[in-house]
Chain A
Amino acid sequence: MARFLRSDLPVAADPGNRFLPLLVAAMVFLATLALAGALALQDMTTRWRGSMTGTLTVQVPPVAGESSADTVARVDRVVRLLASLPEVAAAVPVADEQLVQMLQPWLGSDVLIADLPVPRLVDVSLKVEAMAGLDAMLARVRDVAPGALIDDHRVWLARLIALADGIRLLAWATLGLVGTATTAAVVYATRSGLAVHRPHIEVLHLIGATDGYVARQFARRALIHGLIGGAIGTLMAAPALIALLALLAPLEGGLVPVVTPASVHFLGLALLPLLAGGVVMITAYRTVRRQLARML
């Protein structure tokens, strides 16, 4: 290790030495939270989607004083509309007898469905699980049959999934932004370090050092800083994540399934500081190479 740390350049005195680990620590902290959020949401929405089958039911409400022929016609229009939608595989009205059967426990067997203000039902099977389109679908159905409903829970869940997907995208964007900002800061820190060491680098060059040799001196130092910063960031993020998990735990078994952390996720989070070290090192190396290419 001492051999590895040995440097021909007095990099130990660089101004960036304290700045870089601190910066990487903050960035890894943010990245850990963002990644944890993204992975957890991914997990949750997958499970939410799984709990939604490929079928749903549209309720067409009765209109007071309407003839049963009119009702049938309206239900028919709804069925035709639904069948014409690209995401719908099939739309079948639930037959009166079936409705009677469903109502039997409450109303007995001798009901005349036409006489009751009972909504008619249309069973819809979806081609794809295009849950996000449910609101649009409902709006179109309502054009034909005012007051029509798609079972509530499902619409609510679809909205929740859309929200979660949005947040998840935001988390990935945050991760990307954190990565970009870190890279930019490393480029800047490396350049100022290079400027400080320019006379020494010139001597190294003149005694026959290649650009790679010089760049490796910077890259080694950057790797160490990146790893130290990464470790600190992870250590700071860990209690925050544990606290969040503790807050989420009581929600389990409620209305919707919530996050149960998978070990792959923890592995991903644990790899973040290593990734940070690698990114910082490669960025420093490439920055030095680019700058040196302009010297003689």
Chain B
Amino acid sequence: MAFKAGQNKGRTSRIVDAEGSTAIRFDNVSLRYGTGPDVLQDISFYLDPGSFHFLTGQSGAGKTSLLSLLYLARRPTQGSVQMFGRDVSSAPRDALPALRRRIGVVFQEFRLLDHLSTLDNVALPLRVAGVSEAEIQRHVPELLGWVGLSRHLHATPPTLSGGQKQRVAIARAVINRPDLLVADEPTGSVDDRTATRLMHLFMELNRLGTTVLIATHNEGLVRKFPFERLHLEGGQVSVLPPLAGWAAGDGLFAGGNPLADLEDL
């Protein structure tokens, strides 16, 4: 199955990336759980390096499934997934850790480690990458300040609110400046105001080169930001134009660091 719409017509598929961003290319990818039906049916699409996309579709459409192929939690049943200039769907097991370190993931159900403090949870991607403890102590509290969790550095996830946990999960996903950010319903547990601010954090990361893909049900959010939509329906994907009517970057960052006022959340 080729592209449904003609969106990517004429684009040369840049698979070898600029430093700090990555193109994503799905070629005839199918995914099935066990002997069940195909959740993804022979889908193909291409995302430019440094692009920002929403991933939409009804509950059960396969958004999490598609993202899990991107963050290398599973391999497609058929077809190939390419990013970082290589076919990651057939990469040998021992190549995966290095690839995964270039990907930031916000899981739909957060998947924080409950016995670790906020600080340690966010530090985890740095620790597994062997970053020094001094660096960790410098960067992690700073980022947690940015997402408004300065006062909860030593709290464990079970003692945090849903929205606070979500922000910890987001901080963990972006702490090592990933080349690809994959977020599954990252604003599901926060109010609209906070959701908008978190979007600004993703856009800031995107501005620095990170390719971003955000799965969401939140129609309001999709209408508010001018990003193309990958839409999943019946196991098929289509790339749809932005719903919001203005161009990216329009006055979004006017008025300084949009994250500064997260502090008082």
Contact = CB atoms under 8 A, between A and B. Distances in A.
Interface of A: 3, 8-10, 12-13, 199-200, 202-210, 213, 293, 296
Interface residues on B, range: 20 to 34
A209 B71 CA distance: 13
B234 interface: no
A202 B116 CA distance: 16
B45 to A, nearest CB: 23
Given A204-B128, A207-B125, A208-B129, A296 B100 contact: no
Dominant SS among interface residues on chain A: helix
Contacts of B129: 208
Contacts of B114: 10
25 contacts: A8-B113, A8-B116, A8-B120, A8-B124, A10-B113, A10-B114, A10-B115, A203-B111, A204-B128, A206-B72, A206-B100, A207-B101, A207-B105, A207-B128, A208-B97, A208-B98, A208-B100, A208-B129, A209-B128, A210-B94, A210-B97, A213-B128, A296-B74, A296-B93, A296-B96
A225 B105 CA distance: 35
A7 to B, nearest CB: 9
Nearest to B100: A208
Contacts of B93: 293, 296
Contact of A296 (B75, B105, B116): B75
Nearest to B129: A208
Interface in B28-79: 71-75
Contacts of A8: 113, 116, 120, 124, 127-128
Contacts of B101: 207-208
B39 to A, nearest CB: 17
Interface string B156-173: 000000000000000010
A200 B114 CA distance: 9
A231 B160 CA distance: 41
Contacts of A208: 97-98, 100-101, 125, 128-129
B37 to A, nearest CB: 22
B9 to A, nearest CB: 34
B100 A207 contact: yes
Contacts of A10: 113-115
Given A8-B116, A10-B115, A296-B74, A204 B96 contact: no
A205 B96 CA distance: 9
Nearest to A203: B111
B130 to A, nearest CB: 9
A42 to B, nearest CB: 46
Contacts of B73: 202, 206, 296
Nearest to B115: A10
A209 B130 CA distance: 10
A228 to B, nearest CB: 21
